[in-house]
Chains A and B, each alone.
Chain A
Amino acid sequence: MSVTEYDVVIIGAGAAGLTTGALLAERGFNVALVTTGEPTACLSTGCIDVCSCDENPLTGIKNLPPEHPFHLVDEKTIRQSLNYFQTVMMDMGMPYAGSIEKNRSVVSALGTFKTSCLVPSTMEAAPQNNTDSIHIVTFKGIKDFYPGYIVSRRKNTNFSVFDAGVYSIMSIASRFEDKNFFERFIIWMDKLRIDEDKIALPAVAGLESASEIVNSIAVLMGKPVFEIPTIPPSMPGRRLFNALKKYFRKKGGAIYWAWPVVGTEKTGKLIEAVTTHSEGRPNSINARAFILGTGSFVGGGLTATRQDITENVFNLPVHISGPRETWFDNDYFSLNHGIGRAGIIVDSSMRPADSPWNNIFLCGGILAETEILKNGCGHGLALATAHAAAQSCAEYLSHEL
């Protein structure tokens, strides 16, 4: 078994884990991140929902139930976390639009409006109501985007189909990074003589340089252009993950990819190391503190059996609504499913409550009482709690010295 030593080990490569990692690395700590693989952020729209149940996200947060983990983070930190995110993403060439004072809308692939707070600049031009006319450009053979859904819901909306020669979202996106392809696309677009106010395309405009690509189309066509997020695989989610990952590495963080944690070493009130499973041999990674950002069920932080719900890394006590009968409401759309409240309860220092560990800090979807879908607070909560966890962890590490 090989042994490596760090100040902090982060478990989980989502927005919460990568942000905490970057913050701690910036403070000079030696940080490593272990992950089983791509995070659920890759499946997301890339939008930062802070609290979508009110026009103003901050008012929305104030109205959340008292047990919601957003209340563990003060308003100043929430603002700071979003500013920090926008600065990071600008730095990585993937600027985000929006403000914490007011939520905005993104057009969904069903033609409905999705409410969010910060959105990739490629979605900035999305209409905020039904007045603007739209011309949708879609791609031949693409199976997760059907312009019919949108065209039939909006007046003065039309669509055209471009044959990219490839048919999956990922391959079309990578074609967009090619200059010749882009030129061919623009020549074709030119011939359409688009009359509508705005141009929309499914979110396939490039892998990393989407912001530039969408901008170029807008400049060349002389009209606002925006992307419509698709169901997974989702390019904007992948771009978000790639940008945060690069930033974390740029700040000196190490990433252990596809290394699931299979065990822990403990002494007294401290976790000493996590054992990870990698090719050929187990690896023990020692650290003075640990950040748990493994997400909920989809992310792999929690596992449900017929009888119980468990936390997968440290076996922390999981807060659940009750026996299996209480996990799901009769009405699918009510969003009052007890399972949405499952997770780990933390104290104000983001340490797990009701457990002896002094050096574990939690952030993101693994927290209890989040009800992420109901409250529309996924990535926003991840960023805010990442700042709170990084702050507590840094204080702990400084005192310990």
Chain B
Amino acid sequence: MIKTDVIIIGGGATGCGIARDLALRGIPHCLVEKGDFAAGATGACHGLLHSGGRYAVTDPQAARECYEENLILRRIGKKCVEQTGGLFVRLPGDSKRFREVFLKGCEEVGIPAEVLSSTKAFDLVPNLNPEIEEAIRVPDCSIDPFRLCLLNIRTSELRGGIIFTRHKVTEIIKAHGRCIGIKAIDQSTGMNKEIHGNIIINATGAWANIIASLAGSEVPMTLVKGSLVITNHRLTNMVISRLRHPSDGDIIVPNEAVCLAGTTSLSVEDPDRISIEYPEVDTIISEAGRMIPHFNNTRIIRAFSGVRPLLKSQKIDSHEISRGFRIINHENGLYSIVGGKLSTFRLMAEKMVDTIMASFNLKKTCETAEISLDGQEELSGYPLAKRLADLKNIVCECELVTRGDVERIIKQTSTRNVGDIQHRTRLGMGPCQGGFCTFRALGIMNDMSVISPEQSMEILRNFLQRRYKGIRHALWGDQLREEQLVEYIYLGILAMEKSK
């Protein structure tokens, strides 16, 4: 049995941020995540570090928080934030009145917003639709959510935090009406762990109500699915948003070598049973195509969905529900933190930890906004020279990942999961979506004897099934050709068994 002070359930940006905050304030803690870091909404968003512009009109409070956090993260997280800047573009037919309210909103919140002529906007982003009327420049940025989680966790690890990924919480242990600990199952070995603590924080996003119910508590939420597509090219170096009321398909975010475009907004019941619908993909592509026409004929490599855990609201249009967050004290030792967004994760963590400190009558103040994220100096970013240094040992040609990189991650994390390698090296993130390199990554695991043949076959099957879920919504043109080749490789050349 493990004993600690605070147990955090959930390894998304919020959970990882709380772990870092607790670590900096010297509070012993343990984080338990059922998958890998950033497996929920954190990793399934467009990776936008909001300037606040998007909410300046509809939700000034959220807008203010976003802008303040934007400034902080640009300062403390230089290696996971790309300071792209953003343009809100107005197309013919888009309301001029909204432009006025937008500028006024930005001014009130204090977000720097500069009106640019269409000519000036083309200079910045040559791929823009030539028909745009004008653009407003705001300090939007692109952020790598997975890297962000890892860097937050690094601080926790350096200061003695206990971290368990791939551990699913099965039970919240109660004594005399108070939550005193959890039971979790290690999903790779099937072993159970019992962890005791004084406080349990439920930072599980869309799964918050499921976890709260283990303690007999409730979290009122509205689950809203958002879908996105990824292009094979970086069509813009700036974040491009549509200057209109928030609606489907109004944002394009550059990230590393690709672009993400989205989103949609549809209410769902169960966060574990979401799927993308064909019309969503078509809507995103045609709406993004109105801002950057190349979208209509560029190669889409994958589509994916995330579930936003929004605060319960009566509003019918989910675009209108507040992006603010709330801390719920269940009065039994369990706290839930819900709502919010990636851009404000640090603030959410700060408020959460402040609440705990208050309840323990501890005084140490939050330092997460002042101290830079740990471990950034080790991050490579995307320097080509570094990736090409060991050319003959490259196992993922799309993202230039070497055998050495893969072996290092397997040793470091003793993972049996291809996803863990993907997240940490970008293996399989390119156009073939792991079609070639997963066979190699598992082959390396086989060679290193960390998995058995039955496991490797099972992992491969699961990987292909999961991968298919994402790419099947992008299967036309060259992506379809690539997919047919990959299908032929696994089911034809390698004669993969369908099942046992």
Contact = CB atoms under 8 A, between A and B. Distances in A.
Given A108-B493, A333-B465, A333-B498, A304 B480 contact: yes
A364 to B, nearest CB: 15
6 contacts: A44-B492, A108-B494, A141-B392, A231-B439, A339-B484, A378-B492
Interface residues of B, number: 45
Contacts of A378: 492
A336 B493 CA distance: 19
B464 interface: yes
A231 B480 contact: no
Interface in A367-381: 373, 376, 378
B98 interface: no
A141 B499 CA distance: 31
B493 A114 contact: yes
Contact of A149 (B436, B443, B491): B443
Given A111-B453, A149-B446, A153-B453, A44 B493 contact: yes
B495 A114 contact: yes
Contacts of A193: none
Interface stretch (A29-37, A250-258, A320-328): A320-328
Contacts of B442: 146, 149
Given A232-B489, A332-B465, A112 B494 contact: yes
B393 A141 contact: yes
B485 interface: yes
Interface stretch (B14-22, B252-260, B471-479): B471-479
Contacts of B485: 40, 43, 232, 298
B496 interface: yes
Contact of A152 (B278, B452, B481, B497): B452
Interface of A: 40, 43-45, 108-115, 141, 143-149, 152-153, 167, 229-232, 234, 296-298, 300, 303-306, 324-325, 327-328, 331-333, 335, 339, 373, 376, 378
Interface of B: 278, 282, 285, 392-395, 403, 436, 439-440, 442-444, 446-447, 449, 452-453, 456-457, 461, 464-465, 468, 472, 475-477, 480-481, 484-485, 487-489, 491-499
B159 to A, nearest CB: 39
B428 to A, nearest CB: 14
B477 A303 contact: yes
Given A152-B452, A303-B477, 8 more contacts: A143-B394, A146-B447, A149-B456, A231-B439, A324-B476, A328-B472, A373-B492, A376-B492
B444 A146 contact: yes
Contacts of A115: 495
A112 B393 contact: no
A153 B494 CA distance: 14
Nearest to A106: B495
Contact of B493 (A229, A297, A325): A229
A376 B498 CA distance: 14
B493 A333 contact: no
B457 A110 contact: yes
B494 A339 contact: no
Given A296-B484, A303-B477, A306-B476, A112 B496 contact: yes
Contacts, number: 117
Contacts of A146: 439-440, 442-444, 446-447
A305 B298 CA distance: 11
Contact of B495 (A112, A153, A230): A112
Q: Which of A146, A306, A327 has the most CB of B within 10 A?
A: A306
B374 to A, nearest CB: 34
A52 B418 CA distance: 31
B351 to A, nearest CB: 42
Nearest 8 Cβ contacts at the A-B interface: A146-B443, A148-B446, A114-B495, A152-B453, A332-B468, A304-B476, A108-B495, A112-B495
A266 to B, nearest CB: 27
A153 B460 CA distance: 15
A324 B493 contact: no
A324 to B, nearest CB: 6
Q: Which of B285, B442, B476, B495 has the most CB of A within 10 A?
A: B495
Contacts of A108: 493-495
B380 to A, nearest CB: 21
A335 B495 contact: no
B391 to A, nearest CB: 10
Contacts of B495: 108, 110, 112-115
Contacts of A373: 487-488, 491-492
B293 to A, nearest CB: 15
A333 B461 contact: yes
Nearest to B278: A325
Given A144-B440, A296-B484, A306 B285 contact: yes
Nearest to A111: B453
Given A110-B495, A152-B452, A167-B392, A298 B446 contact: no
A339 B492 CA distance: 16
A231 B444 contact: no
A331 B394 CA distance: 31
A174 to B, nearest CB: 16
B80 to A, nearest CB: 30
Contacts of A110: 457, 494-496
Nearest to A337: B487
A325 to B, nearest CB: 5
B497 A112 contact: yes
A143 B472 contact: no
Contacts of B440: 143-144, 146
A25 B457 CA distance: 47
Contacts of A45: 492-493
B257 to A, nearest CB: 22
Given A109-B494, A143-B440, A339 B446 contact: no
A63 to B, nearest CB: 19
B288 to A, nearest CB: 13
A109 B485 CA distance: 17
Nearest to B480: A304
B215 to A, nearest CB: 35
B493 A339 contact: no
A54 to B, nearest CB: 16
Nearest to A147: B447
Contacts of B436: 231
Contacts of A153: 453
A373 B484 CA distance: 10
Q: Which of B278, B449, B453, B465 has the most CB of A within 10 A?
A: B453
Contacts of B493: 44-45, 108-109, 114, 229-232, 234
Contacts of A167: 392
